[in-house]
Every structure is written in structure tokens, then in C-alpha cells.
Amino acid sequence: MEEKKRPTFLGFLTGLESADEGIIGGFLILNMVGRPIEFHCTAPVRPNRAQEILFGNTLEGFVCGEQIAPALIGRTKMELTAVLTNNPRFLTAPHLLKVPLGVVFSHFQNDSIDKERYALWDRTKDRIKNEEVLNKSRIESSSLGDGEQKSASSHDAFFSNSLETLPFVPGVDYSLWRETVRGKNHLALPASYKTEDGTTISFDEIVKRIDPFLKFIDSVEPFERIRLAVEEAQKSC
């Protein structure tokens, strides 16, 4: 008798920034048709002054990628196909996670393309070709903490248009991810992923596994659910 296929799920991971409280991690797991299976969030993580000094510009990547991400993903016992984030600061330590980690970009817009097709392009892009783009990204990244205080909804600023426009994050090599467009969903997935048993999963195989989800799930929308859920959780604290 053929073994019954186990259900798999797709995770969405983000960090909501508050000038007063620090970073709150949120993790939402959806089934194949976009219904919630699990939701987890962290208490606000606020580094102390000594950590700010010692870690310098690597601090946010350390908090998001090495503290919040493993803690949240480690809570689930569900079999995850992949985890998607809209914040590149979570990409600093993908080796600590037991699942492929991808990045979600803004919706892909091109009226000349049939929106019903889900095998449009798989293309590799150079990390950052133009030094002006890099400098601009650094300025935009560093200015997030300036000016008026940011609410938890400030995570929306992290939806970039491509790997080329992601802000500079110390320790993140964007060449390890490849972009793909599935319908209007635009994301970057690992060029390859090595499982715990040493098996290497190719980019094409990761895309194949995630495709069924993207026929029913808008990859941008779940991050708004996370934001609202975290706000509700904070009200009850």
C-alpha cells in the first residue's frame, strides 16, 4: 500500500519594531490554502547599552537571525516546507534553522504576463552591482531609527523590490539566494539547502515544493496578519 503523504505547512516570520520596547518576533504557520495552523510571538527583545556598543551594526542581525528566528521556529513540531520573511535581518544565520528560509518582495507587476501561470522565471541576480544602490540602501537602513518613533507597523518598510535593493546587513551574502516569480508572488529562495541528514535540496526542488502554496496564498498578506495578532497580544499583556 502506498504510504499516505504527510501534510506540510508554510511559515511566515517577521520582526515588529517598537522604539519603546524593542523587537517583537512573530511567526505564523499556514496550511496549503492559507488557513492558520499555529501562531507564536516573542516578548519584546531590547538589547542593553553594552550590547549596542559591543555588537555595533551587527546587533539587529544577531537579535533577529540568531535569537528570535531559532526560538520561534523551534517551537513548532509541524513539518515546514519553508519559512518566508520580509526582513533581511533574519537571514544572518540560516544554518541555525532546520528549514529553507526565503525572502518575500513586493508584488510582481507586469500586465503582459499571464497571472495564472506559476512557472514564469527563475533567474539569478548579482548581489549588488551599483555602489550607489548599496550606499542608498545603507542610508535608508540606518535612518529607520531616526526621526519620529516607529510603531509596530514599520515592518512594511522591509518589503523591497529585489535582492539588489535589500539593505546591507552584516553577515548576509545575498548571492546564496535566487529570485523567482510565481504569479504575482516575488521571492528569493536558497540556491540550495542541506538537510540535517546531509541531503542537498536544489533551488528547483525548493520552488517545486513551495509552488502549491503560492497558488492560494498571497505571500505578502500574512505579514499583516502577524502585525495585527501581535498588537492584540500586546493589549492583553
Taking only the tens place, the pLDDT of each residue in 171-204 is 999 999 999 999 889 999 999 999 988 999 999 9
What does the pLDDT look like over 151-163, one tens digit per residue?
444 344 457 888 9
**Average pLDDT across the chain, whole number:** 81
Mean pLDDT, rounded, for 63-82: 95
Report which residue type is found at 166: L
Dihedral angle sign, alpha carbons of residues 144, 146, 148, 152: positive
CA distance 158 to 43: 21
To 5 degrees, how large is the angle CA 144–CA 149–CA 153? Answer: 75
Give tens-digit pLDDT for 8-61: 999 999 999 877 789 999 999 999 999 999 999 999 999 999 999 999 999 999
Q: Give the pLDDT score at 97.
A: 92
| 129 pLDDT more than 70 | no
pLDDT > 90: percent of the chain? 62
- Going by pLDDT thresholds of 50, 70 and 90, the confidence category of residue 205 is very high
Read off the pTM: 0.78
In 3D, which of 3, 5, 10 has the Cα closest to residue 216? 10
Check if CATH label 2.40.160 holds for domain 9-50+61-226: no
Q: Could you tell me which of 30, 3, 172, 150 has the C-alpha nearest to residue 87?
A: 172
pLDDT for residue 237: 66
Q: How buried is 143 (Cβ within 10 angstroms: 0-12 exposed, 13-18 middle, 19+ buried)?
A: exposed
Residue 6: what pLDDT? 67
**What is the rounded distance in angstroms from the CA atom of residue 161 to the CA atom of residue 199?**
31
